[in-house]
Amino acid sequence: MKNKVFLFCTLTQPNIDIAYDDHFFGISTSIDWLETDVSSAHDKGLYVMVWSPNNETQNKQTLDKKVDIIQTDSPISILKLLNRYNYEYIIP
């Protein structure tokens, strides 16, 4: 197994160039730090991981930007948005 290293930064063209030049796997960034189009990173073969979309509106924004990995503290909201939530919790 090989480690995948992400550059933790704002998604800007200079940071995309740094990640590419230094052979990072991708960029890890907050939903609030997406200053450049995700396709610019994809064009260089980089993955984009976004963290902190914690409500339906932010989840929609993240999906619209076509990021590769979504990290969230609220997985149920995104699973429902993707019609993949099929679990009912029954209180014992």
End-to-end CA separation in angstroms for the chain: 41
Q: How many domains does the chain have?
A: 1
Question: What's the pLDDT band for 90 if we cut at 50, 70, 90?
Answer: low
The values of phi and psi at residue 70, to 5°, are -120, 120
- The predicted structure's pLDDT at residue 83: 87
CA 8 to centroid of chain Cα atoms: 12
What does pTM read for this prediction? 0.85
For residue 56, the enclosing domain spans: 6-81
In a domain, 38, yes or no: yes
Q: Tell me how far apart the alpha carbons of residues 87 and 49 are, in angstroms, rounded to a whole number.
A: 26
In a domain, 91, yes or no: no
Q: What is the token pair recorded at 43?
A: 């064009």
In a domain, 43, yes or no: yes
pLDDT digits (tens, 9 = 90+) for 40-56: 999 999 999 999 888 88
Residue found by looking up tokens 């990995």 in the block: 69
Q: Which residue has the higher pLDDT, 14 or 87?
A: 14
